[in-house]
Structures are given as structure tokens and as C-alpha cells.
Amino acid sequence: MFSPIEWHIGAKGPVVRMLDQTRLPHEVIWVDCPDHQTVAKGIRDLWVRGAPAIGIAAAMGFALGAQAIKASTYDDFVRQLKPIHDTLAATRPTAVNLFWALNRMNILVQIHKDRSVEEIKERLIREAQTVHDEDIRRNVAMGDHGSKLIRDGDTILTHCNTGALATGGHGTALGVIFTAWETGKRIKVLVDETRPVLQGARLTMWELQHNKIPATLITDNMAGAFMKKGSIRLCLVGADRIASNGDTANKIGTYSVAVLAKAHKIPFYVAAPTSTIDFSIPSGDAIPIEQRSPEEVANVFGKVRIAPANVEIANPAFDVTPAKYITGIITEEGVFKPGELKRKLGRKRM
């Protein structure tokens, strides 16, 4: 299975190897991150992106940072882990998978406090790989559940990138599309280009092309017109954080798609692993929205400036879609209505 991130043993020791997705679709360039600072830079600069992949990168970055610690006592080890955790936690605020993965690594360290530092280091590597493996398994399960919602002949609108590139492999919303295609459903995908960083145009179109699935690229502002024409049977997007009540933070523009879908009576589904659900917050109002550099809007690929110099530009990277616009949330545990999340999944979470 293709994965955009992996734990790799290089000539000088372990590295986190990640595909620099900012260079896609024109160049396929892998970067070996030798330390957790480089992993943090990779997350911040979008070499790796997508909530599940960010979680995996954070877990691997944490394990990588731990390897470099020289400590003879557990307490010293834990003290030195703190800045590694903090550096990784400060990269991006919205995707909860980042904090979920770091929390999981911290818990592992606490559980094994009677073990030697070297053994804990070893277990951290294994845990990061487990985070990765579990993500793939969850995505495949999500694909099985979600693809039942897709009918032969459907045209599906998707936003941003939620494929193998956004995860440990296979994908979330795009993973559902892959599973539907693999099980013989003849479908078409309409892909929002997803300004400003163009994850739809660059990454989703690349993945769909590689998988030979019929796809048409549109600008984000065309989605409504295609809905009006009756061209879209359902919408399928991912999530960066889902609140207890089902409110969903996802790539900027998702909210507009959801409102348009409702106005056209088109089902709107979110696909995300349960690790994306944040049961600690009651509603989407509490989800922090990352404000990114105006340069992402003003300079396409950092190469072509599209606006006059010295103008004001807003760049919220995410928006929140209220639960009332969401037909269902596809998880590895099954498909749920937003209002069912807390009751059906809330208690299972660690």
C-alpha cells in the first residue's frame, strides 16, 4: 500500500521519510527527516498534510526525537521529551490527530516508567509504526462501510485531498471512493481544486489519475453550478476535527459545499477515523482555526503572484460545518449520524 510517510533506517540511523507534497504533481521528491525538528518543519510547511498523516508524522517525530535523547534516568528522559512534544504540538492547531498521537506516545512513556530508557525508546518506535498500521486498517474499514453508500453510476464531489497522501495509506473520503471503484462501481469524481494550496488539483487529481478513476477538476466556485445541473449525487469530504455533537472542521470551503449540498438536497458525508473525533469539546465553536500566511493565497506555488502588492488577505485554513448539514459520518466503526457519535462512540475512546 502506498504511504506518504514511513519510518526508515538510513545510513546514519533512523529517519522519518516523507513525500514532499508541496512539489506534487510535478515532482515526486522524498525527504529524509533526521530529527524531530525537521519533522515539525515538514508538518508546518505542508510536506505532509491531512489530519491522519499529521498524526502519524507527529508520532514518528516523537519517536525519532526520543532516540536522540541521552538520559540515564526515566525522569531525565521524560524531561527531555517535553520540548520534543511541544515542538511537534506547536506545528498546526486544528487537526486533532496531532494531539491525539502525541498524547498516545506520552501515555506509552508513562505506562512503561519501570522499564529502561532504551526499552522505552524501542517501544516508542513500535508505537509510531502501530499508529501508522492502525490508520491503514481503519481506512480500509472506512472504505468498506462508506462504499455501501455509493451506487453504480454515481458522480461524487470531493474537496481537498483525503487519499493515501493524507493518511497512512488508502485514505479517508477518497479511500471510500477507491474501495467503491475496486469493488466494481463505475463512478466519476468531481474534484474541487481547493484554493489556496490546491490539494484537490495537485494531489487528489494525481491519486485519481494513478488509480485510473474518471475525474474532472473544477474550481471551487463551480460546485454550486454543477449541483444545480443535477450532476452530483453525493458529496464526500474528510475532517480535521469533529466535535462531540458532530460539528466538523475541515479544509476551508467545506462549509460552503455543505450549505450548497443541503440547498440542492444532495447527501453530504464526512469520512474520518474515530481518532479525528474530539469528545473533549461539545461543539465546533471550540475548534481552533489555523490562520495561515497570506502568501499562500497571493502566490500560487510561491511562484506567481496573483494580487497587487501590499493588499490585505485573509487565509483561514479551515472552516466548521455544523452537524445539521452532515448526512452521516463514516468511521472505521460504521456510519453514524452526527448526533449519534457521543452515545455510540464516546465511551470507547481512551
Binding residue for a second copy, selected from 125, 140, 218, 335, defined by CB under 8 A: 218
Q: Within 10 Å of residue 310's Cβ, how many Cβ atoms? A: 5
How many angstroms separate the CA atoms of 77 and 56, rounded? Answer: 22
Interaction of residue 222 with a second copy, rule CB under 8 A: yes
The reply to whether 240 belongs to the active site is: yes
Torsion angle, CA of 259/235/292/51, rounded to 10 degrees?
Answer: 130
How many angstroms separate the CA atoms of 82 and 62, rounded? Answer: 10
Interaction of residue 219 with a second copy, rule CB under 8 A: yes
How many angstroms separate the CA atoms of 98 and 83, rounded? Answer: 15
CA angle 273, 97, 22 (to 5 degrees): 100
Closest CA to 170 of 191, 213, 139, 210: 139
Q: Total binding residues for a second copy by CB under 8 A? A: 53
Interaction of residue 233 with a second copy, rule CB under 8 A: no
Interaction of residue 213 with a second copy, rule CB under 8 A: no
Q: What's the full length of the chain, in residues?
A: 350
How many angstroms separate the CA atoms of 299 and 275, rounded? Answer: 33
Nearest approach in angstroms of CB 256 to a second copy is: 3
How many angstroms separate the CA atoms of 136 and 314, rounded? Answer: 35
- Measured from the CB atom, is 278 or 296 closer to a second copy? 296
Question: Which of 154, 240, 247, 278 is labelled catalytic?
Answer: 240
Binding residue for a second copy, selected from 7, 77, 99, 255, defined by CB under 8 A: 255
Binders of a second copy in range 261-280 (CB under 8 A): 262-263
Nearest approach in angstroms of CB 87 to a second copy is: 29
Nearest approach in angstroms of CB 232 to a second copy is: 12
- Measured from the CB atom, is 90 or 307 closer to a second copy? 307
Closest CA to 50 of 96, 84, 8, 106: 96
How many angstroms separate the CA atoms of 140 and 297, rounded? Answer: 34
Interaction of residue 127 with a second copy, rule CB under 8 A: no
- Measured from the CB atom, is 84 or 223 closer to a second copy? 223
- Measured from the CB atom, is 209 or 280 closer to a second copy? 209
- Give me the DSSP letters along 166-187: GSSSSBSHHHHHHHHHHTT---
Interaction of residue 198 with a second copy, rule CB under 8 A: yes
Name the segment binding a second copy (CB under 8 A); options: 123-131, 146-154, 179-187, 222-230: 222-230
Nearest approach in angstroms of CB 64 to a second copy is: 32
Residues in touch with a second copy (CB under 8 A)? 25-26, 192-196, 198, 201-202, 205-206, 209, 214-226, 228, 252-253, 255-256, 259-260, 262-263, 297-298, 300-301, 303-308, 310-314, 316, 319-320
> Catalytic residues, which ones?
240
